[in-house]
Amino acid sequence: MIELHGVTKRYGESTAVDDVSFRVERGELAVLLGPSGCGKTTTLRAINRMVAIDSGEVSLAGRPVLDRSPDELRRHIGYAIQGVGLFPHMTVHRNIASVPRLLGWDKQRIDRRVTELLELVGLPAGCAFKKPRELSGGEAQRIGVARALAADPPVLLMDEPFGALDPINRERLQREFAELRRELGKTVVFVTHDIGEAVLLGDRILLMREGRLVQSNTPEGLWRSPASDFVRSFFGNEFGLRILSRHRVSDLALGAPSRNGAPRVTRATNLRDVLACMVTEGCDHVVVADEEGTIRGGLTVHDVISGIRGLS
């Protein structure tokens, strides 16, 4: 779907992006991750031609982006940026409608789309007439996502879209976005320097350092087989716990339920929460109950630790 081949961008003497190549498949969410200044934003902006590259090639659905007009690219690629990036003097309605207006949609179609999008991102219809300064941080970021989705583009580029939020709202929005993205089936390139966000959202992580792509793999693949000490130390000791949070009880084979008194979880509980529950309750196992409260099996701390090694 998106292909970068030997992409290089220089600013004067320094090389912001150095010979970067990768592919993002249709429907995949790829995260560009790395320390500040490593070239993530520059790489992302090369995809929609907001940055003119010095060498290499970017193609979208098999065609070089240089063969497409900026207008056509805007129709195919939604863009949500760092901070928020809403136009402060425009209402929410006009902000969301900016690309559809550019594309010449009629008023009725735009109104319908704005209403639909507000509902999709979980905001009341009355929001449409507010100005960005009248919104909370979380509301503004939802509008940023709605605006990127406005013309229903198959591809989304997102640059730290939840960066300006407090941790609780950030995690809520991340989880909602993960659900929404699966429903909508978009191809997404997502920039972040936040390891937790990358591991939670990414089908694949493209780890960058000093303009270069260091390693690209699923979070599980990076965890099991880091290509270098840099990769290992970048993700740190918490990596295993973060991987646990990507998987649920239902991903593991259950053992026999143990004796009474063990804490209860459900098949939907994520495995990091299962471990947290064991630690909090001072118990090395849990029982797994279904929605009706019927016990379906059990898990020991050993089941979780050895099970996660085998999951992809």
User: What value, to the nearest 5°, has the Cα angle with vertex 45 and ends 42 and 49?
Assistant: 130
Site string for ligand ADP, 206-245 (x = CB under 6 A): ----------------------------------------
Taking the CA atoms of residue 5, residue 6, residue 10 and residue 16 in that order, the dihedral angle to the nearest 10 degrees is 80
Considering CB distances under 5 to 8 angstroms, the limit depending on partner class, which of ligand ADP, Mg ion, none binds residue 16?
ligand ADP
As measured in angstroms, the least distance from the Cβ of 210 to ligand ADP is 9
Q: Which stretch binds ligand ADP (CB under 6 A): 18-26, 30-38, 56-64, 96-104?
A: 30-38
Chain Cα centroid distance, residue 207: 14
Kindly tell me which of 160 and 303 has the beta carbon lying closer to Mg ion.
Answer: 160
Cα separation, 279 vs 263, in Å, equals 11
Considering CB distances under 5 to 8 angstroms, the limit depending on partner class, which of ligand ADP, Mg ion, none binds residue 38?
ligand ADP
- Six token digits for residue 310: 């085998």
Phi/psi for 142 (5° steps) reads -65, -40
Using CB under 6 A as the binding rule, the residues of this chain from 33 to 92 that contact ligand ADP are: 34, 36-42
Kindly tell me which of 121 and 195 has the beta carbon lying closer to ligand ADP.
Answer: 195
Structural contact between residues 77 and 157, judged by C-beta atoms closer than 8 angstroms: yes
Name the one residue in this structure whose structure tokens are 């239902």: 250
Cα separation, 96 vs 45, in Å, equals 21
- Six token digits for residue 93: 């309605």
Measured from each CB, the residue nearest to Mg ion is: 41
Kindly tell me which of 92 and 208 has the beta carbon lying closer to ligand ADP.
Answer: 208
Using CB under 6 A as the binding rule, the residues of this chain from 6 to 25 that contact ligand ADP are: 11, 16
Element (H or E) spanning 206, and its range? Answer: strand 204-209
Kindly tell me which of 34 and 219 has the beta carbon lying closer to ligand ADP.
Answer: 34
Phi/psi for 87 (5° steps) reads -75, 115
As measured in angstroms, the least distance from the Cβ of 307 to Mg ion is 36
User: What value, to the nearest 5°, has the Cα angle with vertex 151 and ends 102 and 81?
Assistant: 85
Q: Which of 3, 4, 41, 65 binds Mg ion (CB under 5 A)?
A: 41
As measured in angstroms, the least distance from the Cβ of 40 to Mg ion is 5
Q: Which residues bind Mg ion (CB under 5 A)?
A: 41
Q: Which residues bind ligand ADP (CB under 6 A)?
A: 11, 16, 34, 36-42
